[in-house]
Amino acid sequence: MTPTDRDDTGPGSGPSPSPGPSPSPSTSPGRMISRKSLLRAAVAAGAAVPLLSGTVALARDSAGQGRVLPATPDCDDGDGPTHDQIEGPYFKPNSPLRTNLVTSGVTGTPLTVSGYVFGRTCAPLSGVLLDFWQADGAGDYDMAGYTLRGHQFTDAKGAFTLTTIVPGLYPGRTRHIHVKAQAPGQPVLTTQLYFPGEPRNNTDTLFDATLLMNVRAAGGGKEGTFDFVLNVAGTPGPGDPTDPPTDPPSGAWAPGRSYAAGDRVTYGGAAYRCVQAHTSMAGWEPPNVPALWRRE
């Protein structure tokens, strides 16, 4: 099926007012630094990333050109959950369970999208349902079958990876990927992911800069990263190291060390448990980085 109109052409649908871009996060003392803030700072500084375990290489798109993209809402005290967007007329329920949407006959620029799903408190959420659908390289959606459609669940660390292609353009829309995200027993977030540097981002009235992925070239394809923040409390998943401590902390926190999930340290007279493996550095002290350390 060839889309000939906007994604908001369904009955009763229309573009709702889009929230303005979130301000760039401050790294001044006292500001809670989320995992996404750290990743954006690494991109802007041209750091040798990844520094967080399991994270794919990050984009150097607009930051490398001297511009800073508006930030996706972080999971810290000053920001809200990922923005929602309309479903559009091309969603189909009952998509197959798969992380690779590239099936026989699908052609286009290879794209891998990876990231994490967090709750409001920065706890990674396991078992979150992510249902993706998109246009093919020519801008067409498959309404007869399930080409370029599929769902998956985040792992014990809240991580996901999607293998697909860069979607094509069609009248009225910029490039985008649709997704529904639902934590177990929680409401569904319906939203869209966008690509930086697209000319149509300036003319698509549905475009929301807070939903931009970080995208970079990778071989003959592209790699994108995006972290979702759901409007849920964020209770720890089964793989999170949050069991009550039974042994003493492993020592005082120090920069330049490799910490694994489950490691415990002391800082400023308080005990902290490591949530995600990472290499520490000045500015990432446990009280400032709730995405990496949880106070006990």
- pLDDT tens per residue, range 147-172: 999 999 999 889 999 999 999 999 99
Report the pLDDT value the prediction gives residue 242, as an integer from 0 to 100: 38
Report the pLDDT value the prediction gives residue 146, as an integer from 0 to 100: 96
Strands 228-229 vs 110-118: parallel, antiparallel or unpaired: parallel
pTM assigned to the model? 0.61
What is the pLDDT confidence band of residue 235, given thresholds at 50, 70 and 90? low
Distance in angstroms (rounded) separating the CA atoms of residues 226 and 160? 10
Contact 218, 225 (CB under 8 A): no
* pLDDT (mean) for 40-64: 35
- The percentage of the chain sitting over the pLDDT mark of 90, rounded to a whole number, equals 47
* pLDDT (mean) for 14-38: 42
Report the pLDDT value the prediction gives residue 134, as an integer from 0 to 100: 98
pLDDT at residue 56 is higher than 80? no
Q: Which two tokens stand for residue 228?
A: 């979702």
* pLDDT (mean) for 13-22: 38
